[in-house]
Structure 1
C-alpha cells in the first residue's frame, strides 16, 4: 500500500514537472542569478572602511543609510536589512525586463508565479534569455519592449543590496529609488501590479522631496533641482497617458473586417503623432534658465504598445493616491500609509 502511494506521488511529481517545466526552469535561472549577486556582496561597513573605494561613492552609500532611516522613522516604512550590503556591477547591466502587449489593444501579457502572484513583466539576469523570450513573444504576435533595470525588490525574501549603478544617481533620484523599493517591501498586494507600482512611485516621489527638504532645506539646490525634474516628468506622464487613451479609442474602432494594412497604418500614424508632440511640452524651471527637454525616438524605432502599457502600469493611478492622501487624510502621510497597510492585504 505504501509503495503504491509513493509511486502515485512520484507520478504526480513527474506530471507536474513536465507541466510546469518552463516555470521551474525560469525559477531555477532566477535563483542562480539572485544567488550569484548575494554571494558577491560586501557588507556596507567593509566598503566604507576600504581606502581604495572613492570617497564620493562612500558619501552616496552613507546617504542611502540616511534615506532608509528617514523612510522608516518619518514615513512609516517597515524596517528591514535591505541596503546593508553592496554589489559591484563593474559597469555591467544586471537585470533585464521583458514587457509585452497585444498588438491592437493596450492589454499587457501577464505571467503567473507561485506565492507572489501575477506580473505584467518577466525579469532575466541573462541578456540572451531575455532576448529569446522577446523573440518568442514577437512570433506570437505581441508588441514587446526590453528594459534594463537598475533596481528591484525581493519583497523581503532576500536582503536587497546597494547596486553600484545606484551611486551614479543624483540625491533626489537616489532617494526616490530607495524609498520606492522599500515601499514594495512594506506593502505589496498579490495580483495587482498596477496598484503596487503606482503606490511605490507615489511614495517614492513624496518621500524623496520630504527627505531633501528636511536634509537640505526647501530652497536648496537639491530640493529645487528635484522639483524641476518632477515638473517635466509629470507633464510627460500626462502626455503619454493621454496618448494611451487615444490609442484605446483608435483600437476600439477596429473590427474583424478592418484590413491589417489599415490597422497598422492608423496605429503607427497615431503613435508618431504622440511622440512628435512631446516636443510641445513646456515647463518653467524653478531655478536657472529654461532648458529644452525632449524625449525623441528614432522614427524607425517608434515605441509600440508595450511602451504605453508600461505607463499605464506605473503611472495612471498617481492622481488617485495624491487625491486620497490630500483630501481624506489632510496630507498626513504616516496616517495614510498606516491606513493602506491595514486596508490592503500584503504578501
Structure 2
C-alpha cells in the first residue's frame, strides 16, 4: 500500500475513534510527517552537488561513516534511515509538551496506535505546542515545552538526517543517529522510561566506541563527570519531591515546600559549579529558568535506567548481540517485573 494512502487511512481511523479534537491533533502529525518525508533527498546526492553549502556537504559526508559504524559495530538496524537528508527550515523537528499535576511527578500520558503510550505530546509547529501548554496551565498543571532535534518512526519509514540534528557538530550528529536507531532495534510499548534510558545508554556507549574507532581520545572525564553529577542532582530532587507529594499536606504548605526543594536544587548546583567544576556554567540557563515538575520529567525518562543498562552490557561482556537479547527479554516482562529487574541491575551498577 502506498505511503500516503497508509497515512490517510490511519488519520481517518483515528478521527472516527477519537472525535474531532483528536482528529485535528492527528492531522497535524500526519501532515508534519508527510512534509518531512517529502523533503528527503539522498545524502550522496547532496554531498556530490558542488552548488550546495560546503559545510553541509562535509557534515553529511562524515555522518555516513558514523551511520555505517552504527550497523557494523553497534549492530543497529542496517536500513535506509539516516542515508537521506531533509531541511525543514526550522530549528527543531517537533516540540514536545510535558505535563504533570501540580503535586505529582507522574506525567500526563498519551496513547497512539503504533508507539503505545508516551509521556509527552509532540507538535510540528511551535505555536501548537505553546497553545497546548497554555491550556494545560489553565487547568492547573505544571508544563514544560522542549524542542526536539530528532525522533524515530520505529522503522515504519526511512528516517532522514534533519537540519535540526546538525547544530552541535559531527559527534553530536553521530550520537543522535545511534540514539534513534536504538529505538528501531528495541522498543517496548507503554514504557517511555525503558525505551529512552535504553537508547540513551546505546548513545553513550556507542559514542565512546565511535571515538575509539576513530583513534580519538576518550571524551573529557571532567565533562562526563559533570554531566553525571548534574543528572544525579536532578534525580535526587525528583526523589525528594515524590516523598513530599506523598504527604497529606494542605495545598499552600505543599507549594511552599515544593518551592523550597527547587531552591535547594539551585543551591546544590551552585555549590557543584563553584567548588568542583571550577565555575563551569554549562547548566546555568536551565537551572535559573522557571522550574516545575514537568521540567524534571525528561531526566527521569531519559536517564533513570541508564545504570541498569550499563550493568547489563557489562554482564554481556560488551557483546552487543547478547546485550540486545537480554534487553528484549526484559521488554517481554510484565511492567512490575521489568521495573524490579531494572532496579536489580541498577544496584549491580552501583556495586561495580
* TM-score for both structures, normalised by structure 1: 0.85
Query: Would you say 1:248 and 2:242 are equivalent positions?
Result: yes
Structure 1 stretch displaced more, 112-121 or 332-341: 332-341
Root-mean-square deviation (Å)? 2.7
Change (3 A) 1:213 1:147: same
Q: Contact 2:39 / 2:88 at 8 angstroms: preserved in 1?
A: no
What does residue 311 of structure 1 align with?
299
CA displacement at 1:116 relative to structure 2: 1.8
Q: Contact 2:188 / 2:331 at 8 angstroms: preserved in 1?
A: yes
Q: What's the secondary structure of 1:112's corresponding residue?
A: strand
What does residue 23 of structure 1 align with?
22
What does residue 3 of structure 1 align with?
none
Q: What's the secondary structure of 2:206's corresponding residue?
A: helix
Alignment partners' CA distance in 1, 2:264 and 2:35: 44
Aligned to 2:320, which of 314, 318, 333?
333
CA displacement at 1:96 relative to structure 2: 0.5
What does residue 269 of structure 2 align with?
278
Alignment partners' CA distance in 2, 1:68 and 1:191: 28
Matches within 5 A, 1:1-347: 17=16, 19-217=18-216, 219=217, 223-225=218-220, 227-253=221-247, 255=248, 258-281=249-272, 292-297=280-285, 301-326=289-314, 328-341=315-328, 344=331
Alignment partners' CA distance in 1, 2:287 and 2:149: 27
Change (3 A) 1:131 1:224: closer
Structure 2: 5+ residue runs without aligned partners? 1-11, 334-352
Change (3 A) 1:323 1:15: closer
Pick the structure with greater CA Rg. Answer: 1
Alignment partners' CA distance in 2, 1:252 and 1:243: 14
Q: Contact 2:97 / 2:146 at 8 angstroms: preserved in 1?
A: yes
Alignment partners' CA distance in 1, 2:62 and 2:173: 9
Q: Contact 1:108 / 1:309 at 8 angstroms: preserved in 2?
A: yes
Change (3 A) 1:280 1:172: farther
Alignment partners' CA distance in 2, 1:301 and 1:343: 37
What does residue 10 of structure 1 align with?
none
Q: Contact 2:15 / 2:23 at 8 angstroms: preserved in 1?
A: no
Change (3 A) 1:132 1:91: closer
Q: What's the secondary structure of 1:103's corresponding residue?
A: coil
Structure 1: 5+ residue runs without aligned partners? 1-12
Change (3 A) 1:205 1:57: same
* TM-score for both structures, normalised by structure 2: 0.84
